[in-house]
């Protein structure tokens, strides 16, 4: 009998009794899903609270550093107090020096660029343009339009940098310490757009004269004052501001990209090298400013180039009896591709220009006892 039972067991004839099955059913599944949803909600809430706490900590740290720097500037005799009227005047002066000097320096590049935008077949290349211009007018010919460039961009630089510092601080204070950190990119963009809106009003009269002088053969006028008088006498004062909307279209996106990308690149560089900004000497900090400035300049050139082409076309001289072109008529003539004429020249020009501007501006600030622009992003705990 035992043998028979063993034989049946190993042959598979003997089966163990099945355990009863158990199912949660619709109600049980609903309870589990509800518990899971609540757990996810709690996790998201905890994550949001942690992010908010981190933003508050960063905001408090930034505010503490700001207050400490401001207190130190007050205590030091002869030192400029941060965010005082003198601070903004100093930043404006630094901007005037940076923009006026650099735009004046690259006048030969700007001259060829403007002429190629008006007539793309005029020169085969930048070098070809410089050779022809030098052959006709020497070094003086290469700097055609230098005076209105120097005056116009000095005025624009003062307003751009001075008002950027002002609006950046104002919008940060309006947002509060926590939101100033959380929405810092929006503050950089809004501050730079507001500053450029005002700066272009200062620039446009001299920009109009500059383009007229650079794109006429022989030059429209001998200098900034005579050019200004000639435009007003022949076309009225309104002609000096005709290209302002196009200038806004070129300069506001350009400046937003210039300041935002510079601030972001400075933060990225300091984070990549792994040490706080304060641990580096002023020369090393200025090296960061120049590097970040060139990178920012490349982005600026691409973003603003189509509008720059329009400004050159709108300010170009017209033949007697010819109708003054509009934005629509120019686009119909040159098309989308024509908006990008001279881009390579402008990338080289703006990259160099922006790097030099930030280097000069921050060097001026350091000379005046102020900190360089930008900082590293606080590290996450």
Quick one: which of 265, 326, 268 has its CA closest to 294?
A: 265
Q: Is the pLDDT of residue 75 over 70?
A: no
Name the band, by pLDDT with cuts 50, 70 and 90, for residue 68.
very low
pLDDT of residue 76: 53
Burial class from Cβ neighbours inside 10 Å (0-12, 13-18, 19+) for residue 366 reads middle
Residue 92 in domain: yes
pTM (predicted TM-score): 0.72
In a domain, 15, yes or no: no
Question: Chain-centre distance of CA 161, in angstroms?
Answer: 12
Q: What is the pLDDT of residue 276?
A: 85
Task: Tell me, yes or no, whether 32 lies in a domain.
Answer: no
Q: Please state, in angstroms and rounded to a whole number, the distance separating the CA atoms of residues 49 and 15.
A: 58
- Retrieve residue 307's tokens: 């509008």
20 against 47, higher pLDDT:
47
Whether 256 and 193 have beta carbons less than 8 Å apart is answered as: yes
Q: Please report the pLDDT score of residue 5 as a whole number.
A: 46
User: Among 74-78, 229-233, 343-347, where is mean pLDDT lowest?
Assistant: 74-78
Count the domains in the chain: 1
76-90, 206-220, 365-379: segment of lowest average pLDDT: 365-379
User: Which of these ranges, 94-103, 118-127, 202-211, has the smallest mean pLDDT?
Assistant: 118-127
* Candidate from 58-62, 165-169, 182-186, 321-325 with smallest mean pLDDT: 58-62
- 40 belongs to a structural domain: no
Decide if 191 is inside a domain: yes
Q: Please classify residue 159 by burial: count the beta carbons closer than 10 Å to its beta carbon, then call 0-12 exposed, 13-18 middle and 19+ buried.
A: buried
Mean pLDDT of the chain: 83
Question: pLDDT above 70 covers what percent of the chain?
Answer: 77
Does residue 62 fall inside a structural domain?
no
pLDDT single digits (tens) 27-64: 555 665 666 666 676 766 666 655 555 555 555 545 54
Query: Phi/psi of residue 292, each to 5°?
Result: -65, -35
Q: Is residue 66 part of a domain?
A: no
- Please give the pLDDT value at position 57: 52
In a domain, 38, yes or no: no
pLDDT score of 24: 46
- The whole-number pLDDT of residue 32 equals 59
Q: Is residue 224 over pLDDT 60?
A: yes
Residue 336 belongs to domain spanning: 81-367
CATH of the domain at 189: 1.50.40.10
Radius of gyration, CA atoms only, the chain: 32
The reported pLDDT for the residue numbered 325 is: 84
């Amino acid at each position: 009998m035992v043998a028979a039972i063993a034989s049946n067991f190993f042959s598979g004839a003997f089966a163990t009794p099945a355990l009863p099955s158990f199912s949660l059913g619709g109600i049980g599944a609903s309870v589990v899903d509800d518990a899971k949803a609540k757990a996810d909600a709690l996790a998201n809430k905890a994550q949001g609270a942690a992010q908010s706490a981190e933003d508050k900590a960063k905001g408090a740290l930034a505010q503490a550093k700001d207050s400490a720097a401001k207190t130190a500037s007050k205590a030091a005799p002869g030192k400029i107090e941060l965010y005082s009227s003198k601070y903004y005047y100093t930043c404006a002066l630094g901007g005037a020096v940076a923009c006026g000097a650099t735009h004046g320096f690259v006048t030969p590049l700007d001259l060829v660029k403007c002429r190629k935008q008006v007539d793309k077949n005029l020169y085969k290349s930048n070098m070809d343009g410089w050779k022809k211009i030098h052959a006709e007018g020497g070094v003086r010919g290469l700097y055609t339009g230098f005076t209105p460039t120097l005056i116009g961009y000095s005025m624009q630089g003062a307003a751009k940098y001075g008002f950027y510092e002002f609006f950046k601080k104002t919008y940060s204070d309006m947002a509060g310490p926590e939101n100033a950190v959380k929405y810092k990119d929006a503050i950089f963009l809004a501050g730079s757009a507001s500053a450029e809106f005002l700066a272009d009003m200062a620039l446009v009269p001299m920009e109009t004269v500059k383009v007229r002088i650079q794109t006429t053969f022989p030059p429209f006028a001998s200098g900034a004052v005579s050019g200004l008088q000639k435009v007003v006498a022949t076309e009225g004062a309104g002609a000096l501001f005709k290209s302002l909307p196009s200038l806004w279209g070129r300069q506001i996106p350009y400046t937003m990209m210039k300041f935002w990308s510079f601030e972001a690149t400075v933060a990225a560089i300091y984070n990549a090298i792994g040490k706080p900004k304060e641990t580096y000497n002023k020369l090393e900090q200025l090296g960061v400013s120049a590097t970040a400035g060139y990178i920012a300049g490349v982005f600026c050139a691409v973003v603003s180039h189509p509008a720059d082409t329009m400004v050159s076309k709108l300010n170009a001289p017209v033949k007697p009896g010819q109708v003054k072109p509009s934005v629509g008529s120019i686009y119909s003539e040159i098309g989308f591709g024509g908006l990008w004429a001279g881009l390579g020249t402008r990338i080289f020009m703006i990259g160099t220009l922006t790097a030099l501007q930030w280097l000069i501006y921050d060097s001026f600030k350091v000379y005046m006892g102020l900190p360089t622009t930008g900082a590293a992003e606080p590290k996450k705990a």
